[in-house]
Every structure is written in structure tokens, then in C-alpha cells.
């Protein structure tokens, strides 16, 4: 081997050549002895990457974007968090504003106390806290609201579409009428008739499909308004079992699909008006799920 050659360790033609010792002079200047293989740096497992601060920030940003995308997809599948998180944590789904502040109610308590408020005489055995709720229901506009669970809202999509019965109402709407009379006694009901209705309501109204009932409270006064709110709140408390979609009264609306928003201001489709009927000042409107 001449000077400047590279030792290969064994002869390539006989396989039994003599092994030459490593020459320290061939080692790279920046490599300590023992870190070279016959004059070449010892092979490493691969390039060593150093993550800079900018690189770490970029990786963190990419991870955050991924989390947001996954969260957005979950929202579309499961529903908006404020509609399902209270149920997930086991919290109540109804609330009422009393003189002492807002109080949470379990759904069964909301149904029980709205029924008690509708009754002419209070049931015996009500606790002081329950009496405070009934007082609020009887004296405040829209004191009670309920948020339907995600499971309940999604189950509306599994309901079958119904035809009108002999009364002109679908079976679900007929169920609302029967339940109202059982809870509140004699009421002035309208918005339907045998054979159905085809005029007298706004275009696209649920009345034309036999899905809506109007509960009238005339003439408009503070007393009739109080009674109307008792019925409206009772309908909201029982919306899950009666498949109620919308309740409208006194310039306010509650919607099952947006129940986490509570009572919202209601403006007729035609725009602001002084018409008491269009503003639902003289009647409570309730409609039920259409089904598919």
C-alpha cells in the first residue's frame, strides 16, 4: 500500500489478508482518537436535529390548529357544548329567576312546579324554596327556561312525519292540546279545525300542517298576560315529552333547537309591528316537531 492510501482491513482477493493498525495521523483534527474508523469519522445513527425556538413555536401552532379542527368537527357531530356539557356533568337543564336570584331545577321539578303554578290552589306540602319558584313563575315574564339535551334534540330527527287527524291536528299536536287541558283546565284554543286550515296564518306556518295550537288570552291585559306566561312556561318545561319545537308569546320565543339561548326577542317575519296578534300578545303559539 502506498502512502496516502486507505487501509481496508482485509485483502479483497484472498479474504485472509493482514489487518493494518489505524494510523493516528489520518484521524480528522476535530475527532479524538478512537472516534474514527481508519481515518474516517465513526458512522452515526443519523443526522442530529436541533429544534430552534421558531421550530418549537411552529410545531405548537400546528398542534393547536389540529386540536381546533378536531373540536370543530366534534361540535358539528355532537352539538354545541352549552347544549350537552351541563348534561354531561350531571347538572340541571332548567332554571328559574326568583327574587333571590337564579335557581337551577331538574326537569322533573320544572314540570312539577309549572303545573303547581297553573293550578288555582297550590298543592299541599310545598317547601319554602318551591313556593319561591311558584311565586316567580306567577309574577315574572319568562322566568323559567329549559335546555334540551343533545340526545333529545337529535331524537327529533328520528320522529316520523304525521298526517292530520279528524281534529285537523297531527297526533303530536293533539297530545299537546290534551295535556294542556289536563294541566290548565278550560282554555280558549284555536289555530286548527277539522280538515285543516289553509288561510289566516303566515306563509309556511305550522298551522297549515296541523302541527300548531294557539291558546288565546283576550283581551290583552296584565292579568291575561300573567296567565299566558304560566302556560308558555309550562309548555317549555314539558317540551321534551311533548316534542315541542317552538313557543311564542308576548314578543318572546323559545325554540327547541336553540334552547340553550332561553327566551329570545321575537320579531314577526314581516318585520316590527304594533299588531297584537302578529306579536303574539293575545295568544300563546306552540308547535310540535314535523318529523321526517
Contact in structure between 139 and 132 (CB atoms under 8 Å): no
pLDDT score at 60: 77
Rounded Cα–Cα distance for residues 152 and 83 (Å): 10
Q: In this predicted structure, what is the pLDDT of residue 173? A: 98
Report yes or no: 176 and 211 within 8 Å, Cβ to Cβ.
no
Measured over the CA atoms of residue 195, residue 244, residue 247 and residue 272, the dihedral's sign is: negative
**What counts of helices (H) and strands (E) characterise the chain?**
8, 11
- What residue segments make up the domains of the chain, in order of their start? 60-88, 94-288
Identify the three-state secondary structure at position 28: coil
**What's the DSSP call for residue 198?**
-
Instruction: Produce one character per residue of 106-131: b if its CB has 16 or more CB atoms within 10 Å, e if not.
Output: ebebbbbbbbbbbeeeeeeeeeeebe
Place of cell 401552532: 61
Per-residue pLDDT of the chain (292 residues; tens, 9 = 90+): 444 433 333 333 333 344 444 444 444 444 444 444 444 454 454 444 455 666 667 767 777 767 666 554 443 334 444 444 444 444 459 999 999 999 999 999 999 999 999 998 888 999 999 999 999 999 999 999 999 998 888 888 899 999 999 999 999 999 999 999 999 999 999 999 999 999 999 999 999 999 999 999 999 999 999 999 999 999 999 999 999 999 999 999 999 999 999 999 999 998 999 999 999 999 999 999 999 9
Spatial contact of 237 and 107, defined as CB atoms under 8 Å apart:
yes
In whole angstroms, give the CA distance from residue 269 to residue 23.
94
Amino acid at each position: 500500500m502506498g502512502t496516502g492510501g486507505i487501509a481496508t482491513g482485509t485483502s479483497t482477493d484472498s479474504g485472509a489478508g493482514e489487518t493494518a493498525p489505524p494510523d493516528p495521523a489520518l484521524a480528522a483534527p476535530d475527532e479524538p482518537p478512537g472516534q474514527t474508523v481508519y481515518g474516517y469519522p465513526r458512522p452515526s445513527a443519523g443526522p442530529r436535529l436541533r429544534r430552534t425556538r421558531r421550530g418549537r413555536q411552529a410545531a405548537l401552532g400546528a398542534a393547536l390548529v389540529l386540536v381546533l379542527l378536531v373540536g370543530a368537527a366534534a361540535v358539528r357531530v355532537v352539538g354545541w357544548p352549552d347544549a350537552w356539557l351541563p348534561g354531561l356533568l350531571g347538572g340541571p337543564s332548567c332554571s328559574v329567576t326568583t327574587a333571590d336570584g337564579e335557581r337551577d331545577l331538574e326537569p322533573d321539578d320544572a314540570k312539577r312546579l309549572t303545573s303547581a303554578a297553573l293550578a288555582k290552589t297550590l298543592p299541599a306540602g310545598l317547601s319554602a324554596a318551591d313556593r319561591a319558584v311558584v311565586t316567580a313563575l306567577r309574577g315574572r315574564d319568562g322566568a323559567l327556561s329549559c335546555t334540551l339535551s343533545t340526545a333529545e334534540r337529535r331524537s327529533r330527527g328520528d320522529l316520523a312525519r304525521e298526517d292530520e287527524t279528524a281534529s285537523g291536528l297531527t297526533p303530536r299536536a293533539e297530545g299537546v292540546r290534551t295535556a294542556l287541558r289536563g294541566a290548565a283546565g278550560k282554555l280558549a284554543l284555536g289555530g286548527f279545525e277539522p280538515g285543516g286550515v289553509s288561510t289566516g296564518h303566515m306563509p309556511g306556518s305550522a298551522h297549515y300542517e296541523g302541527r300548531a295550537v294557539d291558546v288565546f288570552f283576550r283581551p290583552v291585559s296584565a292579568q291575561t298576560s300573567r296567565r299566558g306566561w304560566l302556560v308558555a312556561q309550562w309548555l317549555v318545561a314539558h317540551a321534551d315529552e311533548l316534542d315541542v319545537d317552538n313557543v311564542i308569546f308576548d314578543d318572546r320565543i323559545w325554540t327547541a333547537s336553540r334552547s340553550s339561548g332561553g327566551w329570545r326577542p321575537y320579531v314577526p317575519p314581516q318585520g316590527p309591528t304594533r299588531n297584537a296578534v302578529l306579536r303574539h300578545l293575545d295568544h300563546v303559539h306552540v308547535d310540535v316537531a314535523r318529523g321526517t
